[in-house]
Amino acid sequence: MIQIEPIHYPVEELIPIVAGLASGYCGYEHTSVTYETAQGLMEAVLYCINECINEPDNRCDTPLIQDISAKDAYLSGQNIVKEKVRELREIYNRLIPDFEDYNCKCLRQTVTKEIPRFLSGYDFKYAPQETLVTLDYPVLKHTGGLSGIDAVLEYMKCIELEQRFLKAFDRGFVIEILHMYYYDDGLLFENISGIVLQHIIMCCILDKPVSSGSFCPEEMERIGSILGNLPDREAKERIEGIAGGLVEHYYNNDRLLSDYLQCAAPDMAWRLRRGR
């Protein structure tokens, strides 16, 4: 069951909303539903209320949550959900004409198959909490705590940022880096922008041209030594600094892109410190 924080409405305010949903769910012929269905409808109500409570942009233009009823919070949250679905469609329609998967089957399947399946099957009224699809291609930003439209919308924002990052490079260059990382890049189940970013950061650490190909064992050992002599936090911050500088110089200091790429820094620092 979804928990509402920091405000909990009394159950007496929630039950009539669930009952109203149950009537519509059953076609207004009767309101008798199974326990599992009733639980799902309660989760739908709580999901929408959470949307209203946690909405940072105040999309629904509501007064303070303390001043509105559970029903009004639910309806406002449902409007936010609908607005997020519209935003997801906009991102998808903007992205797909020039979408590039760089031969990564996992990325292609997720974006071109799973996202349309979500958009066609998502039920914002009776099951807004359901994510419906498996987002198998891993993004750099952790989205594991999200569900429903929140999970898929945040995921597609990450994909759009990745596309912007990668399209600054020649397609052949990206594919070459992926192939150096794994001989059959089509079977990669890793984040490809993170692989490209790591290649660039390694080149920066070694003061080596990014087009110079793969790294020999001695170069990997040198990188491990350079970062290994730094405390964990400083190694992470050095990688974040290189990523931030890259975005500042070549992507018009896009803060969203910089923040996203820097999500890769902790794992990257851990790997490179060990020469991996």
In a domain, 94, yes or no: no
Give the pLDDT of residue 213: 84
Query: Residue 104: how many CB atoms within 10 A of its CB?
Result: 24
C-alpha span between 188 and 194 (Å, rounded) = 12
In a domain, 30, yes or no: no
Identify the CA nearest to 132 among candidates 201, 79, 159, 124.
124
In a domain, 109, yes or no: no
Burial 29-49 (b: 16+ CB within 10 A, else e): eeeebeeeebebbbbbbbbbb
In a domain, 255, yes or no: yes
Give the pLDDT of residue 6: 47
In a domain, 81, yes or no: no
C-alpha span between 85 and 129 (Å, rounded) = 13
pLDDT, tens digit, 9 for 90 and up, residues 13-58: 999 999 999 988 876 555 577 888 999 999 999 999 999 988 765 5
Q: Please report, rounded to a whole number, the percentage of residues in the chain having pLDDT higher than 70.
A: 89
CA 199 to chain centre: 23
In a domain, 189, yes or no: yes
Whether residue 41 contacts residue 21, with contact meaning beta carbons closer than 8 Å, is answered with yes
pLDDT, tens digit, 9 for 90 and up, residues 228-273: 889 989 999 999 999 999 999 999 999 999 999 999 999 999 989 8
Give the pLDDT of residue 33: 79
Q: Categorize the per-residue pLDDT at 128 as very low, low, confident or very high, splitting at 50, 70 and 90.
A: very high
Q: How many domains does the chain have?
A: 1
In a domain, 269, yes or no: yes
Give the pLDDT of residue 124: 96
Domain hosting 196: range is 169-276
In a domain, 48, yes or no: no
The mean pLDDT value for 117-123 works out to 97
SS3 for 178?
helix
C-alpha span between 263 and 26 (Å, rounded) = 45
CA 2 to chain centre: 20
